[in-house]
Structure 1
């Protein structure tokens, strides 16, 4: 499973866009679509959004430095696009709903690890 790490999230022309370090070949990027589900990487303190093509799944990792932007998107109920390079952007549909589900489950739940629980509470805690 391939992993892409989001380096930054910016608001561009009224929409949020996440950027990754690498560019994906245009043909491959055009085949990718939103998986509409998220996971948590407790060890790396990251939210993971799944994108996919006909062959495999890809992890899109949102490390802790991007969480303030994710929180803003969550509060505003905005959309987020993932810039894959070569003029291809994938809309990460279901992101707000998945974030709501995950953050509610993490708050006060030591099963995710104390470090992740505290980090999520720090950014998303005021939304309870």
Structure 2
């Protein structure tokens, strides 16, 4: 199972959305970079942003609780940063990746009924 950075808060700070994460193993953060790719975890009702520490991929869990703030960032086009253990990393290409996933999830039963419903509600995708 992939190791996960768990985001538990999102705050707007000077035209940037800051995703604050729970403490994570210091050694795993050495050389940590944003991959610019995202996945969906329908079982956990979360989006996953992929990070790389040169040895392995580390998943950044973006739970439904922070989706309203992600929508704000997406709608306004502001950068999104991850803050974990005092380290701040910009999540490159998150707008494009998230937009692509939202487009694919809407009206798509492959992601599960609950995931699709929550995404449509949180991101205002209903027509």
Given the two structures, how large is their TM-score scaled by the length of structure 2? 0.92
Q: Deviations over 1:44-68 (max 9, x none)?
A: 1000000001100000001111100
How many residue pairs end up in the alignment?
Answer: 126
Q: Distance in 2 between matches of 1:34 and 1:44?
A: 22
List alignment gaps of at least 5 residues for structure 1: none
Q: Distance in 2 between matches of 1:24 and 1:11?
A: 26
Give matches, 1:40-51, under 5 Å: 40-51=40-51
RMSD over aligned CA atoms reads 1.6
**Residue pair 2:10, 2:18 contacting (<8 A) in 1 also:** yes
Q: Distance in 1 between matches of 2:37 and 2:99?
A: 12
**Residue pair 1:107, 1:125 contacting (<8 A) in 2 also:** no
Question: Aligned residue for 1:31?
Answer: 31
Match of 1:70, SS? helix
**Residue pair 1:9, 1:66 contacting (<8 A) in 2 also:** yes
1:2 lines up with 2:16 in the alignment: no
Shift of 1:127: 7.9
List alignment gaps of at least 5 residues for structure 2: none
Question: Aligned residue for 1:21?
Answer: 22
Given the two structures, how large is their TM-score scaled by the length of structure 1? 0.91
Q: Distance in 1 between matches of 2:44 and 2:125?
A: 23
1:108 lines up with 2:104 in the alignment: no
**Residue pair 1:80, 1:91 contacting (<8 A) in 2 also:** yes
